Amino acid sequence: MQSFIKKYSIFLMLYIIFQPVLDAITGLMAQAHIDVTFGVLIRMAVMAVSVFYILIFLILNRDNKHGFRVIGYFVLLGVVSVISLVINYNTKRTFIPTLEITSLAKSLYYPIMLLSYFYAFEELAEDRIINRFFPKVIFIAINIISVIMIVSHFTNTSFSSYSYYKLGESGWFFAANELSAIVSISFPIMVWYALKKIDKWSRIYYWISIILAIYSALLIGTKGSLLAILFGTCMSILAAVIRLFQIKGKRKYTVGIIALLVITFGGILAAYPAMAVSRTAELHTDMIKYKKKQAKTKKGITKDQKKYVETNKTVSYLLSGRTVYFENSAHNFSKASLAQKTFGMGYATNYKSDKDAKLVEMDYIDIFFQFGVIGTIVYLAPLAYCLIYLIGAFLRKFKYMWSVKWSMLVSSVAIGFGMALMTGHVIEAPSVSIYFVAILGYAMLNARIFLRTNDDPYTINVED
């Protein structure tokens, strides 16, 4: 069994590299209008094996208190989920089993994989095997995404991010928002890996991957990816400047790194006007003007379009109409039964038909409507615990948090939590949450060791 734990821990590391391949296959299958996708089946199978992995790890660990807490949590989550399904089966006017069950299965992906990756890192950290894989696997995965994006762009085979505008590109990946979240959350980890590898200027070629990742993010055309790239770059500059005053040696090298980062930041700003994301703001303004003009005609506009037009211009642009879906879902929630308010309304609240089943696409809000008051508390408990723990570690070890490793880990986790609110498709999207929980699990292990031993675990770092 110990052999299985070690091998599966390594598999979980390598599994990250195959994510872009799964997503590209899923995108091509979706374009071919194939409903059951290869990627979904593989991810659900890995999630099932990961449940077994967690149980075996707990048995071998022999920490009964911890084991009972973990098992107790998943039993509670399972009970809450079943209660929600039963309530909605008996309450919803339109209950589509495939939508409800698929949505629930995707929701369960994050807590199971978060714990799996934490245990995998714990297992591999003992003999430093972890350094062979993380964050290298993230670096390789995003490089694969960049290559697919660039090849599809220059072969003119890329899908449109915004089909109604024919604007932006998502390569051979189906969902632009999910692709944007993946690149955004992973970008600081790429910067960390590249900067640690550029210990000599002869290895500057590692920075080419960063340029390609930035180019790919700008090709997508989403606001979230642009803001995340800018945030990650700014954080790396700030960390480098602080380190310049903290360290005594390698000052010329650090100044060179700062110059490299500033030039990169300037390049992003210079490239912005020529990229698709710059056009979305203009098109948004044009669309608002068109809808207002159309409202005065006999044909008029729909209720949802009217709400969108009347929303604050900046808010409607940043949230891309999510406020309208929120109002509709909140209205359904206000009319829901006490049982639904307590345990959730399932997928997309009380929709009339599958065409009306629309998510708000802001993860925390969708989770609240899906799981209700009690269900949300149970479902988000692991994330809340991780967030509070990491904030505590950040404040207690503040002066140590400006190394390349810690500053980029903090940036990546912050982007993950932030994008879950702003753009959604992070916590409940398995293709994205796999990156988020892997990075979060890694940060948790490092913070736990740091606080327990009062020594920054330098042995868990980029491989030399």
Note down the domain range covering 17.
Answer: 2-278+374-453
Is residue 435 domain-resident? yes
Quick check: is 93 in a domain? yes
Q: In degrees rounded to 5, what are phi and psi of residue 457?
A: -75, 80
| Euclidean distance between CA atoms 78 and 303, whole angstroms | 38
Q: Is there a domain that residue 80 lies in?
A: yes
Residues in the chain: 464
- Residue 394 covered by a domain: yes
User: Which pair of tokens denotes residue 29?
Assistant: 């299958």
Closest residue by Cα to residue 346 from 25, 139, 91: 91
The total domain count for the chain is 1
- Residue 242 counted as domain residue: yes
Tokens of 170: 């998502």
3-state secondary structure 30-54: HHCCCCCCHHHHHHHHHHHHHHHHH
Kindly report the number of other CB atoms within 10 A of residue 371's CB atom: 25
Q: Is residue 37 part of a domain?
A: yes
Per-residue pLDDT of the chain (464 residues; tens, 9 = 90+): 788 999 999 999 999 999 999 999 888 887 777 765 778 889 999 999 999 999 999 998 877 888 899 999 999 999 999 999 999 999 998 898 988 998 999 999 999 999 999 999 999 998 888 988 999 999 999 999 999 999 998 998 888 876 655 677 888 888 888 999 999 999 999 999 999 999 877 889 999 999 999 999 998 988 888 999 999 999 999 999 998 888 777 788 889 999 999 999 999 999 888 787 777 766 666 666 655 556 556 565 566 655 555 555 555 555 666 777 788 888 888 999 999 999 999 998 888 877 778 888 899 999 999 999 999 999 999 999 999 999 999 999 999 999 999 999 999 999 999 999 888 889 999 999 999 999 999 999 999 999 999 998 887 888 76
Which tokens belong to 459?
Answer: 């042995």
Short-list 37, 449, 404, CA closest to 193: 404
Backbone dihedral angles phi then psi of residue 212, each to the nearest 5 degrees: -65, -40
Rounded Cα distance, 141 and 47, in Å: 20
In angstroms, rounded to a whole number, what is the distance separating the alpha carbons of residues 234 and 243? 14
Q: pTM for the complete prediction?
A: 0.93
What are the DSSP calls for 371-390, one per residue? Answer: HHHHHHHHHHHHHHHHHHHH
200 burial level (CB within 10 Å; 0-12, 13-18, 19+): exposed
User: Do 412 and 134 form a contact (C-beta atoms < 8 A)?
Assistant: no
**In-domain check, residue 313:** no
Q: Is 303 exposed, middle or buried (0-12, 13-18, 19+ CB in 10 A)?
A: exposed
Q: Please list the residues that pair with 167 across neighbouring strands.
A: 162
Is there a domain that residue 411 lies in? yes
| CA gap 458, 446 in Å, rounded | 9
Using an 8 Å Cβ cutoff, are 139 and 193 in contact?
Answer: yes
